[in-house]
Chain A
Amino acid sequence: MVSQKALQHAEKCRFCWMCRHLCPVQHQTGKELNTPRAKGLLLSMLSKGTAEFDKDMAKAMYECMLCDACVNDCCTGYQPPLFIREARTEAVVNDLAPAAVMQCIENIENSGNIYGAEKPSFGQDGTDVLVYIGEVAACKVPEMAKAYLRLLKKAGVSAKVLDCEPASGMMLADLMGYVQEVTDQAKSCADAINATGLPTVVVLDSYDAEIMKQHYAEWGCEIKAEVVTATAYVAKLLEDGKLTPKAEAKGAGACHDDDRLARSFHEFAPVRDIAKAAGYTLTEMFNKERLAKSCGTAVALSYMPGITTKVASGRWADLCRTEAKAMLTANPQAYLCLSQCVPEGMTLVDLYTALNEVV
């Protein structure tokens, strides 16, 4: 069953219910089983022999965005995603994971990415920085990746993109937990990045940046280059005057802080600097920065489109409570999820494309 460390986290819960109102999945499904505490209780019951790990329990463990909102708020330092990931490992080990999850894993095994598709080539062989595009942007939101590369070109930055960019391991880690298969992917990715010898790797998807910056070193596959989020890199180009936007008023917009920028990096200013430079007047949603509500992930959208789309609609509901009509994001996964259910009269804005329009 799950490790002793994971079990300690599951059993630390005081059942105070403070996390109940924070969980975006619980919000949208209304299921008690989708509270982080309920998932902890299930595992605790397993360890005490009062429940069995079956397909239903495995399914419940996959009904989570691993968004870390519960971790951010729990006063006991309780980390539900830690044991939820391990429970997913257990589900895969025992062939109990939902069929859609197993299909995603098979796609990764066969093609290197969750979509089972060939990643497009971006034809960039520059010498200043390496841009790590990631499979979501490459396969599902290529316009965002292209817009980002155009921005770098305008700023005079010579960018390289790996032709056969290996997966970072981020998606596999969401599907089967932190296991050796994930560290194998991470090692290949780190090797490919290190082989370029470039001093900086700019990571377009903050979910990829999180695994690279916060896990690669502990797995013994450190990236030698400095790993920078794409948002922070462009914000610095703006600050240094390498990108000079024309003044253009585009109306009110609210920035969506994605799960990783919000809670892994606590990076809030760059995305707002980009939005302002693109011409937006900023307003804020109630759940912002560290408390930002998840809009779903590309992994969850692949194996659980219904619930993930509901979670994304929950984020749109937050925007509808403000005067803004534009949801602003610089994250390909957020863009993909939010694009599933844009409410009438609202617009979804890819900030890199928006910035390109004014520089």
Chain B
Amino acid sequence: MKQIIACVKLVPAAAEVALDGQFRLKRDSTSLQLNIADLSAVEAALGLKEADTQVTVLSMGPAKGEALLQELFALGVDRVVLLSDRALAGADSLATARALAAGVRCLGEFSCILCGRRALDAETGQIPGQLAAALDIPAVTNGQQLEKADNGLSCRRLLETAVETLTVELPCVVSLCEYSYTLRLPSILGRRRAKDKQVEILTAADIGLVAEQCGLQGSKTKVVHVDTKAPGLRKCSYCNPEALCGIIKGVQ
């Protein structure tokens, strides 16, 4: 394994978040956390790491996420790259995957890209597949456990009603389920080493994208309206079993 890339998203940590005029999450006004499923991706990457392997974390989001990403160095992550630019804001999943793919191309040769299977905020779950398509490599979704195999990676993955194990050739993209791995804590030595490391911030131009390819402009989908579900429309009420027959007859 040469380089393993783990893609992480910083999502709002608050229970309630605000939307702006274009129905985008207001990420600036809320504190951020690492997306839960992405913790599995980072831990799986660190678990697969060998002496000559570099683990790189790639993220896209506001620059204020830098401090949170900095903490990953103490876990043994070698390099952290944050794509951050106003031009990248408001991207749908396609524009996000395009930006991530452009970022990946700047990182050099890699063996695999690990992602969380979905993000807590938008929850589309499309990025891993779209990223693999953009890079023209295979994708395995809903992974739960990864092991090195002779000819690639052996992945146990979750299906609707079962689990299956398959082997995928490298390079590939694998998305991981929430809680499939427990992210390690930093070590004292890791904290010491982390002091000299810094998150690299790249702009859209740095990764070779123009405005039309990214952010809102580069998106194929747009949120045109968001509605809050009005409570009470189902007119629910409690009744006792004796009254139930009468109610059913009334409906008939």
- Contact surface of A with B, Cβ cutoff 8 Å: 3-5, 8, 89-90, 92-93, 176, 178-183, 218-220
Contacts and interface: CB of A to CB of B under 8 A. Distances in A.
Nearest to A2: B71
Interface of B is mostly: mixed
Interface stretch (B16-24, B48-56, B124-132, B187-195): B187-195
Contact of B188 (A89, A218, A220): A89
B31 A8 contact: yes
B67 A183 contact: no
Interface string B166-194: 00000000000000001011111011100
B192 A219 contact: no
Contacts of A180: 184-188, 190
A57 B191 CA distance: 19
Nearest to A93: B191
A194 to B, nearest CB: 17
Contacts of A3: 71
Interface in B1-36: 31-33
Contacts of A181: 187-188
A4 B31 contact: yes
B68 interface: yes
Given A89-B191, A93-B191, A93-B192, A4 B185 contact: no
Contacts of A219: 182, 185
Nearest to B182: A220
A219 B184 CA distance: 7
Nearest to B68: A4
A176 B184 CA distance: 16
Contact of A183 (B32, B71, B184, B195): B184
Contacts of A220: 182
Interface string B186-217: 11101110010000000000000000000000
30 contacts: A4-B31, A4-B32, A4-B67, A5-B33, A8-B31, A89-B186, A89-B188, A89-B191, A90-B191, A92-B188, A93-B188, A93-B191, A93-B195, A178-B185, A179-B187, A179-B188, A179-B191, A180-B184, A180-B185, A180-B186, A180-B187, A180-B188, A180-B190, A181-B187, A182-B185, A183-B185, A218-B182, A219-B182, A219-B185, A220-B182
Contacts of B68: 4
Contact of A4 (B71, B182, B190, B191): B71
Given A4-B71, A180-B190, A218-B182, 11 more contacts: A3-B71, A4-B31, A5-B33, A89-B188, A93-B191, A179-B187, A180-B186, A180-B188, A181-B188, A182-B185, A219-B182
Nearest to A7: B67
Contacts, number: 39
A92 B31 CA distance: 28
Contacts of A8: 31
Give 7 closest A-B pairs by Cβ, nearest first. A180-B187, A220-B182, A93-B191, A180-B185, A4-B68, A179-B185, A93-B192
B31 A176 contact: no
Interface in B57-109: 67-68, 71
A220 B32 CA distance: 24
B34 to A, nearest CB: 10
B188 to A, nearest CB: 6
Given A4-B31, A219-B182, A176 B188 contact: yes
Contacts of A176: 188
A176 B185 CA distance: 12
A183 B182 CA distance: 12
- Which of B71, B184, B186, B192 has the most chain A CB atoms closer than 10 A to its own CB? B186
B211 to A, nearest CB: 31
A179 B185 CA distance: 5
A4 B71 CA distance: 9
Nearest to A221: B182
A78 B16 CA distance: 19
Nearest to A92: B188
A92 B187 CA distance: 11
Contacts of B190: 180
A218 B43 CA distance: 14
Nearest to A176: B188
A3 B186 CA distance: 11
Contacts of B195: 93
A5 B13 CA distance: 10
Contacts of B192: 93
A6 to B, nearest CB: 10
Nearest to A182: B185
A89 B182 CA distance: 21
A218 B186 CA distance: 14
Nearest to A3: B71
Contacts of B32: 4
A8 B71 CA distance: 15
A4 B182 CA distance: 19
A183 B32 CA distance: 26
B136 to A, nearest CB: 35
